Amino acid sequence: MQIRLFTIPNMLTLGNLLCGSCAAITLLTSADFKLAFWLVVVAAVFDFFDGFAARLLKSVSPIGVQLDSLADMVSFGLVPSLAMWSMYESAPESGLLTADVAGIARYATLIIVAFSALRLAKFNVDDTQTTEFCGLPTPANGLFCLSLGMLAAAGDLVLCKEVVLAVSVVMAVLLISPIRMFALKFKGFGWRGNELRYSFLLASALIIVLFTRYSIPAIIIIYVTLSSIRWVANKNKR
């Protein structure tokens, strides 16, 4: 079997990986959440266009699928986990945790990278996720965690250590949850069949204009809420 490594889709995927690697280094060396956030945004753009390019150029390959998950593991698994770790380190103490417990509890933020691995492995073998996702997509989780870190670093959001731990656990559980979450994969460009997607995009644009810095967490929360309502409604119909 001939394996082509240096294809256009694979180069885009490597762009995703390199952006994620730079974001991880940024968090570890300087805790610059703003730079790390934008690096993850660029990684998400690469992640979108590598699949688009593979379909357009008809160069979808097994190695591309595996490479995509490896890149996502760094950009949207390791990086958000490091973001929550850094947030925890600088978060104020509420007094609920003793010094010894607080020192050990920081490792709970790594649940995100562990559950991201499970999420990506499941996606690779689950053929029901072609038009929707099962669980929160890792890029959405990555943007959520990095945006929280950016807000906290700017002083626009104050979360104590316990809340940082709670958010880490909740986001990790959402990654592997059975909730079916809609994908932004349009069925043509018409309104019919794309009502939810167009409505979500319009609402997201409005939120960005109105809430600017707080828009990313708000959009992700709305995305999870809408998907959950849709999932429960569909279950009740069946």
pLDDT value of residue 212: 87
Asked if the structure places residue 3 within a domain, the reply is no
| 139 and 83 within one domain | yes
CA proximity to 35, closest of 176, 149, 183, 136: 149
| 55 and 106 within one domain | yes
Cβ-based burial of 235 (10 A; exposed 0-12, middle 13-18, buried ≥19): exposed
Could you tell me how many residues make up the chain?
238
Using alpha carbons, list the distances in angstroms from residue 234 to 86, 228, 229. Answer: 39, 10, 9
| 153 and 98 within one domain | yes
pLDDT at 221 over 90: yes
> Residue 58's domain spans which residues?
8-178
Q: What is the pTM of this model?
A: 0.90
| 110 and 73 within one domain | yes
124 vs 114: which has the higher pLDDT: 114
pLDDT value of residue 80: 97
Highest mean pLDDT among 17-31, 93-107, 176-190: 17-31
Asked if the structure places residue 2 within a domain, the reply is no
From CA 115, how far away is CA 104, in angstroms rounded? 19
| 86 and 22 within one domain | yes
Exposure string of 112-132, with b = 16+ CB inside 10 Å and e = fewer, is bbebbbebbeebeeeeebeee
Query: pLDDT tens for residues 15-44?
Result: 999 999 999 999 999 999 999 999 999 999
Q: How many domains does the chain have?
A: 2
- The CA-to-CA distance between both ends of the chain, in Å, stands at 44
| 220 and 153 within one domain | no
pLDDT value of residue 190: 66
Query: pLDDT tens for residues 129-141?
Result: 877 899 999 999 9
pLDDT value of residue 86: 95
pLDDT value of residue 197: 81
Banded pLDDT at 179 (limits 50, 70, 90): very high
Banded pLDDT at 188 (limits 50, 70, 90): low
Q: At what angle do helices 62-73 and 111-125 cross, to 10 degrees?
A: 160
